[in-house]
Amino acid sequence: MNAKSTLCRDTLGSIELHLLSPEWREPRIGIVHLGIGNFHRAHEAVYTEEAMLAAGGDWGICGVTLQGDVTKRDALMAQDGLYSVVERGPDGVRVTVIRALEEILAMPHDRARLFALLADENVRIVSLTVTEKGYCRDTKTGDVDLRHKGIAHDLANSAEPSTVPGILTAALRQRREAGTPPFTVLSCDNLSHNGAALKQAVVSFARAVDGTLAGWIDTHVAFPSTMVDRIVPSTTDADREAAFDALRMKDAAPVPCEPFRQWVIEDRFPTGRPAWENVGAQLVDDVMPFELAKLRMLNGTHSTLAYLSMLAGFATIDEAISHAPLKKLIHAMMTHEIAPTLDVPPSFDVLAYRDALLARYANAALKHRTAQIAMDGSQKIPPRLLATIEARLDAGQSIERLALAVAAWLVFLRGRADDGTRYDISDPMAARLTANVPADPQQLIETMLAIKEVFPPELTRRDDFRTPLKAAVTCLQAGARAAIDHYAGLE
């Protein structure tokens, strides 16, 4: 292919139908985003470009990959930061080219450039999608884990940080020393109280470096919480082909997603922000009610679908939800066990939200792989399922379907589907989780519930948790599809 056949700024004039607007003023960089994965590029970056088109502002984005791999950086920079969003819905495929990315960096290769940007007063927001494990937290205390290899490195090598807490602390220290107002730190990760969780990790890391600095960060740096939602699968060759068919040019970095999107943001930005509220984001005083609804209704049932599907042999979410007993089970779980734990504003219709989720799951165009959702279960199970279980038990309510979800994860850890197909366990605790996976239900429960990093001791001591969990694990011995049939029939 010649240069003109590859997506870049020079080709924009020929693809105006695939732009949000033909009008565009190149902005200065105002946002540095750590973790430049598919989700950010289908979510925050799109909202931000729309906000600049609607209300102006210098909110160009510098995306940073923290994995040491320059492949993504080089692919995107070869395209001048451009990429296409391949939106797949029941009505077909829509391809939109996004221009908000002004620069892409790769750590540790571009450390000097990153810290130059983080010191720039025009950079007023540092946002993140690095997953919970990127916060390097001690799961018991919420403080940074001082035993974490990366954290230990950063404490010993403050000029060359590699972790999120280390990078943010070093950047905030240089702004404090220069008398530059601090940037706002905006977590877009899928975990409860994400702003507060990130703040605790950063402040506790800073405390190990300089107590005065920690106090300054605690007092002067805003860490608003957010709730983000859009299903964004991994990119496939089919997505690259869809982008080429629409644009008639090569895009090495397209991002597939569903049409639905949601962003609820705690409105605390002392030095300013894009006009996200003009383009569909909700700016609120308290994110928590929306966060819990999404975490429990969507993420909780997503994980349930993933682990049952890995055992039963459903490769994608739409395939799983098209299995009538499994759809009935998920519908009942949301209606009878999850929705009653939520305290949402009167304007939020929980049952309409349930129905919208089921419709999104059925989107056959998306092909969201259950194996992708099944990753990192040790990090996801506590907020997505165990917190809901505790709320139900504290209210004296049943947890049969929720217990099945946890049981499915425990059985999933054996590494094979019911038909014998093997699969990998992708989890930061994989070695420990898979070292001993007993076949006997009682032994399996005792072994796994002893892992305190996942299961709170106060929960594991409860008979009203153990009894339905054992029943679910036992039921799964006859096969996931038989278990699905049984639990779908519960009243």
CATH of the domain at 112: 3.40.50.720
H-assigned helices in 374-462: 377-381, 387-394, 400-412, 430-434, 441-449, 457-460
Cα separation, 480 vs 337, whole angstroms: 20
Give the domain CATH number at 429: 1.10.1040.10
Decide if 133 contacts 428 (C-beta within 8 A): yes
pLDDT of residue 229: 93
Specify whether 280 is located in the same domain as 306: no
Reported as a pLDDT band with limits 50, 70 and 90, residue 90 is: confident
Specify whether 341 is located in the same domain as 307: yes
Specify whether 265 is located in the same domain as 360: no
Exposure pattern of 165-176 as b/e (b: 16+ CB <10 Å)?
Answer: bbbbbbbbbebb
Tokens of 46: 């799109």
pLDDT of residue 192: 82
DSSP state of 415: S
Cα separation, 123 vs 110, whole angstroms: 17
pLDDT of residue 148: 96
Residue with token string 């080219």: 97
Specify whether 301 is located in the same domain as 254: no
Specify whether 231 is located in the same domain as 357: no
CA triple 47-40-66, angle to 5 deg: 145
Tokens of 123: 């950079």
Q: How many structural domains does the chain have?
A: 2
Last residue of a domain, one of 259, 284, 309: 284
Indicate if the pLDDT at residue 440 is higher than 60: yes
pLDDT of residue 298: 95
Q: Which of 258, 342, 348 minimizes the C-alpha distance to 39?
A: 258
* CA pseudo-torsion sign 466, 471, 476, 482: negative
Specify whether 326 is located in the same domain as 363: yes
Please state, for a pLDDT cut of 90, what percent of the chain lies above it: 93
Q: Which of 295, 329, 317, 299 minimizes the C-alpha distance to 480?
A: 329
Cα separation, 380 vs 387, whole angstroms: 11
Tokens of 285: 């005083």
Indicate if the pLDDT at residue 3 is higher than 80: no
Name 42's Cβ contacts closer than 8 Å, sequence gap at least 6. Answer: 85, 230, 232, 255, 256, 257, 261
Decide if 289 contacts 295 (C-beta within 8 A): no
Reported as a pLDDT band with limits 50, 70 and 90, residue 112 is: very high
Specify whether 269 is located in the same domain as 393: no
Indicate if the pLDDT at residue 345 is higher than 90: no
CA triple 366-372-373, angle to 5 deg: 90
pLDDT of residue 2: 42
Last residue of a domain, one of 284, 306, 333: 284
DSSP H or E run through 235: none
Specify whether 298 is located in the same domain as 393: yes
pLDDT in tens, 222-243: 999 999 999 898 999 999 999 9
Tokens of 138: 């001690």
Specify whether 350 is located in the same domain as 368: yes
Last residue of a domain, one of 267, 284, 301: 284
The predicted model gives 187-203 an average pLDDT of 94
Domain of 121 in residue numbering reads as 3-284
Tokens of 441: 């239900």
CA distances from 124 to 32, 33, 135, 181 (A): 8, 11, 21, 8
Calculated CA dihedral for residues 299, 304, 306, 307, nearest 10 degrees: 140
Specify whether 247 is located in the same domain as 299: no
Tokens of 287: 């994110």
End-to-end CA distance of the chain: 61
Specify whether 205 is located in the same domain as 298: no
352: amino acid identity, one letter: A
Specify whether 297 is located in the same domain as 280: no
